[in-house]
Structure 1
Amino acid sequence: MRYTISDVAKLANVSKATVSRVLNNSKPVSDEVKKRVLKVIEETNFQPSALARSLSNRQTKLIGVLLPDIANPVFSKIIDGIEKKAHEEDYSVLLCNTRHNEEEELKYLDILREKEVDGIIFNGFHSSEKFREKLSKFSIPIAVIGYDDESYDYPAVLIDNLKASYDMTKHIIDSGKKNIAMVHGPIEDYCSGYQRMEGYKNALLNNSLKYNKEYMKKGNYTYKSGYDSAKELLKKYSDIDAFFCANDMMAIGVMKAILEIGKSIPKDIAVAGFDDIDVASVYTPALTTVHQPFELKGESVMSQMLKLLNGKEVERQIVHKYKIVIRESI
């Protein structure tokens, strides 16, 4: 038998309002009454309806999270951080996998509106006019992770992608490499695409090396795009002696392409990635990369969301530290 709040109230000889106060800890109830209600709840194994609670306090306890690729280990770690913090405050996460597709992003915004989520966390990949316009119609808290630009006025959690990319490229230069190619992300992805590319470019120019556009290929953060890009570049330019990639997945694809043509890493061609996913340390040779604290970033953005939900002041931008992790590939 499934017990209702009315059943609990009747068995405890109190009103439904009193049961609700005990459940939500919303108003003072005497210790004697509270014990009686809790005893009945335990005996009946009563489970309050989430829908009923949302109607009474105008909260669904749901946070919508839009991420571009949940198959990517980067985003799975971010989700872990978000969920850990959300569950501490009795919130649940409604995950939306947008697959780097603008139409999917727009569709999920409609779904989140229907579900009446209490807040939205997203990784803004496209930042299109359509997306911004639809987002602006929400009257609920919104926070951004891994992305920020002047078109958004939402609190954001990220790292300094420009400087991290510059520092990694400088490390490659300091190792003695001069003809450094790059497999970058889509330029419309402002932080992971554009800023990482600009950091690479600035490091070359500031260290008296030629910036050659022909040494650059656009990937889509997948292993295959890194592999295909390297195959094409190595076929055209035999003098390339290093690759910097905008993420680790592409870097591992690049390493496979290098090894297939009989070159050694790092003696003939060095390789660096970005993110420090788990496989980076176990691949052979182990990958030099930029470490990001993904779980911490997830916890931080959820903390920002909880502050917004409780009407507290939040920081406009939280910039976490990154670290250059030196391994065998350089």
Structure 2
Amino acid sequence: MNPPTIKDVAKAADVSVATVSRVLHNLAGYSEKTKQKVMHAVEELGYQPNAIARGLINKRTQTIGVLFPNVSSSFSSDILHGIEEVAHEKGFSVIVCNTAEDGKRTLKYLQVLREKQVDGIVFTSEVLKDEYYQAIKEMRVPVVLVNTMSQKYMIPYVKVDDRQAAYQATDYLIQKGHRKIAMIGGTPRDQIAGIPRLDGYRQALNDNGIEYVESRVAYGNFSIESGREAMEKLLVEAPPFTALFAASDEMAIGAMGIAMEKGLKIPDDISIIGYDDLSLASMVFPPLTTIHQPLTTMGRLASEKLISLIEEDSDKVSSSIVSHHLVERQTVRQKL
């Protein structure tokens, strides 16, 4: 038995083929009652629109590309979950690319996405270098940034205010009575999350009359292992400290592991606050106090913006600074 065609759907719904096509492509020109009739016929017949034929009609492949520096991280998976939710709802497929640390494979994957003829790109957590922008511009597809932004190019983005969030984390420790506060930051030259979060930490210290001590800052790359290495360095080389702000939950969890291996109790001997509010943060012991980034929501927003740019063929999509908040758990104590 041959699979049902669009003509079969039209006959079952008692409408024209053109009307079925408009309904399936979310175009205007029909009533809600007609839409329900068409969708009922589609479901009853088990009709599956042919992706190639659909592409010939609207000159799209119904795919979007997503670029992550580290696909395996909890951070990336939470964002990806939001992106895929919306993409699935809108009838798009997602191609995920792992660009590796420092964007070692970014240009390679942009070429892959060009060959796949994706309709748009979600670019996350990296600096949008000139060569990346030029490659995307040559593809003539829209792009939306997540957890990053560009000062140079007018590209819509979705992110939190990293500087303000880091300020809140540090100020929280200060209000708990801590004045000797260390930090594990991102890579020193990272303009996206590293530098703004360090600036927020420094500003909170300054506003509370606390001297910034450079040796109390160590750097990682947002991974658990880099958090362990940075904490080892701080415990050996930094002046004594009673609290630590880590610029990611994974680095905070790595730091907690080293602290406990050294016989330090959390939060009795050292208070620790993270950044992201990954699912891991509530699973470790003691549960991690952290700054919540709505990562899945950020992914959904980015996907919605991108698909709007694709389907409406417009560049009128605004950027979004999403709200963050502090989540109190059990790794920070009031210093007596």
Q: Which amino acid aligns with 1:306?
A: I
Please state if 1:316 is matched with 2:314: no
Query: In structure 1, what is the equivalent of residue 20 of structure 2?
Result: 22
Distance 1:75 1:315, change over 3 A: same
SS state of the match for residue 105, structure 2? Answer: helix
SS state of the match for residue 203, structure 1? Answer: helix
Query: In structure 2, what is the equivalent of residue 249 of structure 1?
Result: 250
Structure 2 matches for 1:152-301, cutoff 5 A? 152-237=153-238, 239-301=240-302
* Cα deviation 1:139-184 (Å, max 9, x = unaligned): 2211111111312311111111100000110111111222211111
Q: Give me the whole-angstrom Cα distance separating, in 1, the residues matched to 2:259 and 2:197.
A: 22
Query: In structure 2, what is the equivalent of residue 139 of structure 1?
Result: 140
Query: In structure 2, what is the equivalent of residue 149 of structure 1?
Result: 150
Kept in 1, the 8 Å contact 2:218–2:230? The answer is yes
Q: Give me the whole-angstrom Cα distance separating, in 2, the residues matched to 1:249 and 1:228.
A: 12
Q: Give me the whole-angstrom Cα distance separating, in 1, the residues matched to 2:250 and 2:65.
A: 27
Q: Give me the whole-angstrom Cα distance separating, in 2, the residues matched to 1:265 and 1:170.
A: 19
**TM-score, L = length of structure 2:** 0.85
Q: Give me the whole-angstrom Cα distance separating, in 1, the residues matched to 2:28 and 2:205.
A: 64
Kept in 1, the 8 Å contact 2:185–2:247? The answer is yes
Q: Give me the whole-angstrom Cα distance separating, in 2, the residues matched to 1:82 and 1:170.
A: 33
Query: In structure 2, what is the equivalent of residue 113 of structure 1?
Result: 114
Kept in 1, the 8 Å contact 2:215–2:237? The answer is no
Q: Which amino acid aligns with 2:123?
A: F
SS state of the match for residue 272, structure 2? Answer: strand
Q: Give me the whole-angstrom Cα distance separating, in 2, the residues matched to 1:247 and 1:114.
A: 35
Distance 1:322 1:9, change over 3 A: closer
Structure 2 residues without counterparts, runs of 5 or longer: none
User: How many angstroms does 1:99 deviate by?
Assistant: 2.2
Distance 1:167 1:2, change over 3 A: same
Kept in 1, the 8 Å contact 2:225–2:251? The answer is yes
Q: Give me the whole-angstrom Cα distance separating, in 2, the residues matched to 1:21 and 1:316.
A: 32
User: How many angstroms does 1:249 deviate by?
Assistant: 0.5
Q: Give me the whole-angstrom Cα distance separating, in 2, the residues matched to 1:124 and 1:188.
A: 14
Structure 2 matches for 1:43-122, cutoff 5 A? 47-122=48-123
User: How many angstroms does 1:287 deviate by?
Assistant: 0.9
Q: Give me the whole-angstrom Cα distance separating, in 2, the residues matched to 1:83 and 1:40.
A: 23
Q: Give me the whole-angstrom Cα distance separating, in 1, the residues matched to 2:91 and 2:160.
A: 28
Q: Which amino acid aligns with 1:189?
A: D
Distance 1:186 1:21, change over 3 A: same
Q: Which amino acid aligns with 1:173?
A: I
SS state of the match for residue 104, structure 2? Answer: helix
Distance 1:103 1:4, change over 3 A: farther
Query: In structure 2, what is the equivalent of residue 325 of structure 1?
Result: 327
Q: Give me the whole-angstrom Cα distance separating, in 1, the residues matched to 2:42 and 2:192.
A: 54
SS state of the match for residue 90, structure 1? Answer: coil
User: How many angstroms does 1:21 deviate by?
Assistant: 5.7
Query: In structure 1, what is the equivalent of residue 308 of structure 2?
Result: 307
Kept in 2, the 8 Å contact 1:226–1:252? The answer is yes
User: How many angstroms does 1:135 deviate by?
Assistant: 2.3
Kept in 2, the 8 Å contact 1:144–1:157? The answer is yes
Give the number of equivalent residue pairs: 322
Q: Give me the whole-angstrom Cα distance separating, in 2, the residues matched to 1:224 and 1:28.
A: 56
Q: Give me the whole-angstrom Cα distance separating, in 1, the residues matched to 2:327 and 2:81.
A: 23
